[in-house]
Structure 1
Amino acid sequence: MTKSGVDVRGKIALVTGGGTGVGRAVSKALSAEGWRVVLSGRRADVLGKAAAEISGETGHDVSWIAADVGDPQSVSALFDQIREEFGRLDLLVNNAGIGNSPVPLEEISYEEWSNVVAANLTGAFLCTQHAFRLMKEQSPRGGRIVNNGSISATTPRPNSAPYTATKHAITGLTKSSSLDGRPFDIACGQIDIGNAASEMTAKMSAGVLQANGDVASEPTIDPAHVGQAVVYMAGLPLDANVLTLTVMATTMPFVGRG
């Protein structure tokens, strides 16, 4: 039972990119709260290990399904298995995503642009589309979707055009999903994360290119804080929604001119 009075025990949560980093932290936090968590990602070995470890840590069963969110057929198979095995979906966390090479915009290849768009944006759209279909028809009707927007959804880093463009687009997808889901008890919100410690942020302690051309070390935060934020968002009744929420390292160069 959450503080808001919602009983989430046994409710089904799907976390894409759930085997590592932020996705793993979110999955662990949800499982500890009593959600029946399903991890998804491209690497079966990583997913299987993460599911076993999280289950051992929280004492709750954790499942996994390998899928590539950028592939429509793979996403369709993922949701077919969710439907067949669990019969419903109460929470989708669109977390899967990749970055791009930190090179000047004109040096980004079309292939890399396409890969980033597929993983970060197309994947979130495809999963949202399938979640809508299932959430509309299940009983009780409805559910919640939480998108990982990143603070790049509002403010770019140098040499990050593909990643930043997709994260800006996630904000549009979040708002459209929130609006279109409203008549069907489907709530959609976005969490913008700044410097949660993960494989993607491991280089930050060694120094990251800043907007003024300097290279500076940046602080990170424990991804467990992100997990707890998602637990709060996910634990609200469906008549309440966190549309946007930012969790970041307090002293990172984001607010202000940096």
Structure 2
Amino acid sequence: MSRTIMITGASSGIGAATARRFLEAGWQVGLFARRKEALEAVAEEHANAHVLCGDITEPEQVAQAFERLAASTGRIDALFNNAGLFTPQAPIDEVPIEDWRRAVEVNLTGMFVAARAAFGQMRRQDPQGGRIINNGSISAHVPREGAAPYTATKHAITGLTRQISLDGRPFDIACGQIDIGNALTDIMQEVTERARRLGEAPPETFEVEHVADAVLQMASLPLHANVQFMTLMATKMPYIGRG
């Protein structure tokens, strides 16, 4: 019997690449994001894909998506809690309050809401249990310049990961976090091209498919084993030795 994973933010970037990897591996995959056409493009030619359109900031839409996926597949074995955004960079006194609130709403509250829905389903199902994988960031450890909203929310995700790990033990619910640095998504490709146009050295990057492989590895472990924290990054990016 194939296993089931819900992937939030599955319409592009890391979410889409990871969804394709799980589909190829034969998992039943719930694809959750706002853009239906983009989700359908990821799901194309995969009978084991479940397009679940919704907004991560709307708890009822998130809960309904989990209910629909569980009804279709019988259970949910894993969540890749991936949806997030990066607000425009600025010193803290120039960060609009709305940017702060939006980052907290998506990157923290949205991930809490998805984890809450997954935890409830995993606790109720028979056999009990499952795995939640939170997408942190290198910014969960050290910040980039001008990124107070993003950095604060990603530090908070580390605390959420630890709390879910602790609270999930009685129910065979494992929780881990993957912290990713400079995977070559469309956004990072734009950053690279802009640097080249300006005559600057482009950032060190690596292929996003390696993230998908790592998440699959984490999700495929038996529930008595867990990758608590994984850092996956471009080898030469300025993380080790910063400051």
- Answer whether TM exceeds 0.5 for this pair: yes
1:44 aligns with 2:36: yes
Question: Paired residue for 2:166, among 179, 189, 202?
Answer: 179
Q: Is the 8 A contact 2:85 2:103 kept in 1?
A: yes
How many residues of Structure 1 are paired with residues of Structure 2 in the alignment? 239
Residue 5 of structure 1 is matched in structure 2 by none
1:29 aligns with 2:21: yes
Shift, 1:30, TM fit? 1.4
Give the 5 Å matches for 1:16-95: 16-52=8-44, 55=46, 61-95=48-82
Describe the SS at the equivalent of 1:46. Answer: helix
Describe the SS at the equivalent of 1:131. Answer: helix
Question: Paired residue for 1:207, among 176, 179, 195?
Answer: 195
Unaligned runs of 5+ in 1: 1-8, 209-214
- Paired with 1:190 and 1:63, the residues of 2 have a C-alpha distance of 24
Shift, 1:61, TM fit? 2.1
- Return 32-41 or 187-196, whichever deviates more: 32-41
Shift, 1:29, TM fit? 1.4
Runs of 4 or more off by more than 4 Å in structure 1?
none
Give the 5 Å matches for 1:81-160: 81-160=68-147
Question: Paired residue for 1:229, among 204, 208, 214?
Answer: 214
- Paired with 1:224 and 1:137, the residues of 2 have a C-alpha distance of 33
Give the 5 Å matches for 1:161-172: 161-172=148-159
Deviations 1:62-95 (A, max 9, x none): 1110111111122122122223322311000000
Describe the SS at the equivalent of 2:6. Answer: strand
Residue 242 of structure 2 is matched in structure 1 by 257
1:13 aligns with 2:5: yes
CA RMSD of aligned residues (A): 1.6
Unaligned runs of 5+ in 2: none
